Amino acid sequence: MELRVSAVVTALLLRLTCTGAHQPPGEPAYDPGLPPDLHSPHGSLWPLPQTVVISSMVYRLSSVTFQIVHSAESTASVGCSILDNAFRRYYYYIFGSSTGSSQRQATLNSTGGRGPGPGELRQLQVTITSSDPECNQHPRITSSEAYEITVAQPAATLKSETVWGALRGLETFSQLVYEDEYITHLINKTEITDAPRFSHRGVLLDTSRHYLPIKVILKTLDAMSFNKFNVFHWHIVDDPSFPYQSVTFPKLSEQGAYHPVTHIYTLKDVQTVIEYARERGIRVIPEFDTPGHTQSWKGQSNLLTPCYNGEKPSGTFGPINPALNTTYDFMNQFFKEISWVFPDKYIHLGGDEVNFACWKSNPTITEFMKKQGFGSDYRKLESFYVKNVLDIVTSNLKGYIVWQEVFDNRVKIKSDTVVEVWMARNMKAELSKVTLAGFTTILAAPWYLDYISYGQDWQKYYQVEPLNFNGTVAQKKLVIGGEACLWGEFVDATNLASRLWPRASAVGERLWSSEETKDLNDAYKRLTKHRCRMVQRGIPAEPLFVGYCDYEYKDYKEFN
């Protein structure tokens, strides 16, 4: 990777939006009188592009004259609202914090208030090259996110095959812009060629253990786009509550949500999240985990298994009852609705942590086991249920993702099933087994962000290498990415953003950038600045260490 930045320009270029912490990782305790160099040769770019060449030549940008526009050659130049909206968004991200000083900046530019300065860059011209720019579609696992940026006069250019690459390129371009002491916006002559290393880069939010208001979810989607994540794994229901308001089965949320009116996600809410995500190139994959994790599904009668205390019902309920035909009739209708509401090709079906105790206590289940020839192996009963649900989902033209237990329990699953590895113990061995069996794989095990510790735990997330397991080249190609998971036992709207960011940012770079991008000190310098940029954009991301941001946190308006 080649970088050409003069020492003088570097000092100005890398001031950017933040003065960061005094003690990078791996260095001795700081001396307040001798702050170390906090500037990376890569500026504040996050995640780091695949190739970047930064020149010493500098251009200025004026909020009065600068425009982001479609090029004449672009196939998306007419009626592509996803890009038109993104152009407005990123203009604000570049100039929003200092738009109040536009008149001052215009005066400085016109009068030469600080003496001779750099030439002016007036446009970023965006070109979509594909005959199908996908303006009106939803992103897919196969969607291209590659892009190229050239910053040079007379105009900067951003080229990509589809709108999804353009969205990623707009984020990178915005990160190249910085301010000097006169609040003049500057950018260096730059060449970037970029594409993600992994196609699935997800964030999991749990909205069952604590309800998350729509505003918080949308703000998280913004932050995901700043870090180039492209999958929102919505763990929408679980044992504690069922906030999804089903059109077909409204009693599920009426009886299963914390509150049937204030703590639910209506159809309109879900559609708002899906569209907001689409505008940022993010897929929404819902998870409806069964047969376990279903205590909140009590709104559907005869769905959960009655538990017994000896010969009498105990009044409690266990996993979904796999012995009744009505169970599968319900599942067929329910997943028809889910397939219609959520446009992504995939649904996450869970399948983890099934407690067999209630099934063992129930005499009807025992009799069913005998008839099916399962003996006393309740994993076979679980497999019977899961196989039926997988067939139902497949019949509704959806693919599915499952937690690793479904694979471990030897359920007969389709060859295109995606298996998510979440158990940290024996993680590498599990990756080897799943990929050896030919299944596409997602890694979550090392990135459970609900586990917190004092200090800079982002480093351990950053240092994970997803392909560090015994396997062939073909096996490793089956690992399509990973997810940062924030389970909700101790997380709600009050602390979600600070728990998630910038710790998830470390996962974002690991899944986007090249395998060789692993210098912790360089990452610290860039991430400190990137964290300040998120704060400037209205994300209350927690600090990495001691320091300050030029623009401290305030709540900015949202974009729709």
Instruction: Kindly report, residue by residue over 509-522, the tens digit of the pLDDT.
Output: 999 999 999 999 99
Q: Which residue has the higher pLDDT, 292 or 102?
A: 292
Tens digit of each residue's pLDDT (9 = 90 or more) over 194-208 = 999 999 999 999 999
Q: Which residue has the higher pLDDT, 173 or 397?
A: 173
Instruction: Return the percentage of the chain with pLDDT > 70, whole number.
Output: 88
Split at pLDDT 50, 70, 90, the class of 507 is: very high
Q: What pLDDT is recorded for position 184?
A: 87
Rounded distance between C-alpha atoms, residue 336 and residue 515, angstroms: 40
Instruction: Identify the band that residue 553 occupies on the pLDDT scale cut at 50, 70 and 90.
Output: confident
Q: Is the peptide bond before 24 cis (omega within 30 degrees of 0)?
A: no
Query: What is the percent of the chain with per-residue pLDDT over 90, rounded to a whole number?
Result: 81
DSSP track, 12-73: HHTTTTEE--S--TTSPPP-TTSPPP---TTTT-SSPPSEEEEEEEEEEE-TTT-EEEE-TT
Given 73, 275, 353, 465, which residue is catalytic? 353
> What is the tens place of the pLDDT at every residue in 379-429?
999 999 999 999 999 999 999 999 999 999 888 888 999 999 999 999 999
Residue 38: predicted pLDDT: 66
pLDDT in tens, 241-270: 999 999 999 999 999 999 999 999 999 999
Q: Express each pLDDT in 262-279 by its tens digit.
A: 999 999 999 999 999 999
pLDDT at 23: 44
- The tens digit of pLDDT for each residue in 304-316 reads 999 999 889 999 9
Q: Is the pLDDT of residue 182 over 80?
A: no
Q: 5 pLDDT exceeds 90?
A: no
If we measure between CA atoms, which residue out of 391, 390, 394 comes closest to residue 402?
A: 390
Contacts of 507 (CB under 8 A, 6+ apart): 201, 447, 461, 462, 482, 483, 484
Most confident region among 70-79, 429-438, 450-459 by mean pLDDT = 429-438
pLDDT digits (tens, 9 = 90+) for 449-506: 999 999 999 999 999 999 999 999 999 999 999 999 999 999 999 999 999 999 999 9
Which residues make beta-bridge pairs with 36? none
> Per DSSP, which regions of 473-554 are E strands?
479-486, 548-549
Q: Does the structure show a pLDDT above 50 at 106?
A: no
Examine the pLDDT at 29 and tell me if it is beyond 60: no
Catalytic residue status for 483: no
Weakest mean pLDDT among 6-15, 224-233, 419-428: 6-15
Average pLDDT of span 527-531: 97
The pTM assigned to this predicted structure is 0.91
Res. 19: pLDDT tops 70? no
Query: Which stretch of 2-6, 14-18, 306-310, 554-558 has the lowest confidence by average pLDDT?
Result: 2-6
Residue 451 near residue 427, CB atoms below 8 Å: no
Confidence band for 37, pLDDT divided at 50, 70 and 90:
low
141 Cβ contact partners less than 8 Å away, ≥ 6 residues apart: 199, 200, 283, 345, 346, 480
pLDDT at 16: 41
Q: HSE (CB half, 13 Å, CA atoms) of 404?
A: 22
